[in-house]
Amino acid sequence: MNILSDRINNLSESATLEMSRKSRELKALGHDVINLSIGEPDFDTPEIVKEAGIAAINNNQTHYTPVSGIADLRQAISDKFKNENGLDYSPAQIVVSNGAKQSIANAFLCLINPGDEVLVPAPYWVSYPEMVKLAEGIVVEIPTTIARDFKVTPEQIESAITPKTKAIIFSSPCNPTGSVYSVRELEAIAKVIAAHPNIFVISDEIYEYINYNGKHESIAQFDFIEDRVITINGVSKGYAMTGWRIGYMAASPVVASACNTLQGQTTSGPCSISQQASLKAVRELSHDSSEIKVMLNAFEERKHLVLDRLADIPGIEANNPSGAFYVFPYIQHYIGLSDGETKIGSDSDLCLYLLDKAHVAAVPGSAFGSPGYLRISYATSSENLIEAMNRIKGALAKLS
């Protein structure tokens, strides 16, 4: 008897969460594991935001909220889009969810019919293809390489489009590569989309504030496609609020209303306390607030620390990310080698070897659609990073 549905039987565990689980399990056995697999800021949520959460409890703001989020928060998000991104989204076009993860899942479930194709430039964030599968869509991967800074070209998109293409999804700044699309690159992509009126763009901008290039650019700024862009963002990364579980989307009224209906039948509105805390964050903190800059500067310093050490390891080629908190080095050189005991047959084997022998957790590139690479999250202390990079160097040196 099949207990579980095909839907869940066909779904993979999130590789990022899986590596973190493995690293936690090893830690519980008493090993000194350094976890570079999970992408979450190690900073505490800013004080004013925590106080707003505590005040929400004391003020009994602990009841159900409107499904798409409290009016003040949607207004604050609408103002943020206007002031920081130059985008005109009314509060009615915004749906607040339990993390950007739910916002993306909502978007796919509302747009995709069985058999519809979704273009997913690789490397991609692990959950995109699985969410497309949940919505019974078909994933069409578009490969990119380190030589082109992992960016998809307009020509590649054009040639991947078929009559069944319903959407394209990408993140900028990108998880796992840290690449950031320039305004000109986004415009060129927007022009391709403009010529195909049935295609939607899901633009995942969750790493907006972690951008070493300066100004963040949104693809929704091009008015010739703006009603077909679904802009995803949230409080997890920029404000160090991963556990509060608040993300949001902005879309055309038709799509926003559909997501509201879906959410009303699945989760209802997100946590009332988290919404009050997020209201404080979105209203009072922006990319140039000192609370945000401290984190950005620390991330940039750590990025250089990791890049300097990677440059010192033979056979590794690393990109220089412009945003997010990941480096995505090419490690193919080590595939096929052995330490005399363990044969490294793939990037996944290399991650297991590093976890086992060096007690450092990273995520294999194959989980992001790019075998031969490794994702290192540098959202941890410099001290941890120095120790982790020394251990990685030592373990790799044993392979021949």
Interacting residues with ligand GLU (CB under 6 A): 14, 16-17, 38-40, 126-127, 175
3-state helix, strand, coil in the chain (%, to 5): 45, 15, 40
Q: Is 247 in the site for ligand PMP (CB under 6 A)?
A: yes
Nearer to ligand GLU, 45 or 276 (CB): 45
Token pair 């979704």 in the structure block, residue: 118
We find the least distance from the C-beta atom of residue 175 to ligand GLU, in angstroms, to be: 5
Task: From 315, 358, 361, 360, select the one nearest 339 (Cα to Cα).
Answer: 358
> CA 42 to CA 140: how far, in whole Å?
34
208 touches ligand PMP by CB under 6 A? no
User: Residue 38 binds what, of ligand GLU, ligand PMP, none (CB under 5 to 8 Å, by partner type)?
Assistant: ligand GLU
- What residue has token string 């595939």? 335
CA distance 279 to 295: 20
Instruction: Please say which residue, 124 or 334, places its beta carbon nearer to ligand PMP.
Output: 124
User: Is 206 near ligand PMP (CB under 6 A)?
Assistant: yes
Angstrom CA distances, 293 to 81, 211, 290, 344, stand at 19, 11, 5, 40
Q: How far is the CB of 59 from ligand PMP (least distance, A)?
A: 25
Tell me if 131 sits within 8 A of 104, measured CB to CB: yes
For residue 344, give the nearest of 285, 399, 286 by alpha carbon.
399
Determine, following the binding rule CB under 6 A, whether residue 216 of this chain makes contact with ligand PMP. Answer: no
Residue 315 CB, shortest distance to ligand PMP, in Å, is 28
Q: Does 100 bind ligand PMP (CB under 6 A)?
A: yes
Partners of 140 in the β-ladder: 119
The single residue among 125, 181, 325, 378 that binds ligand PMP, judged by CB under 6 A, is 125
Does residue 81 bind ligand PMP (CB under 6 A)? no
Please state whether the peptide bond connecting residue 123 to the residue before it is cis, i.e. omega within 30 degrees of 0: yes
Instruction: Please say which residue, 91 or 247, places its beta carbon nearer to ligand GLU.
Output: 247
**Rounded to the nearest whole angstrom, what is the least distance from the CB of residue 223 to ligand PMP in the complex?**
25
Q: Which two tokens stand for residue 265?
A: 């039948």
Q: Is 101 in the site for ligand PMP (CB under 6 A)?
A: yes
By CB under 6 A, name the binding residues for ligand PMP: 39, 99-101, 125, 171, 175, 204, 206, 234, 236, 242, 247
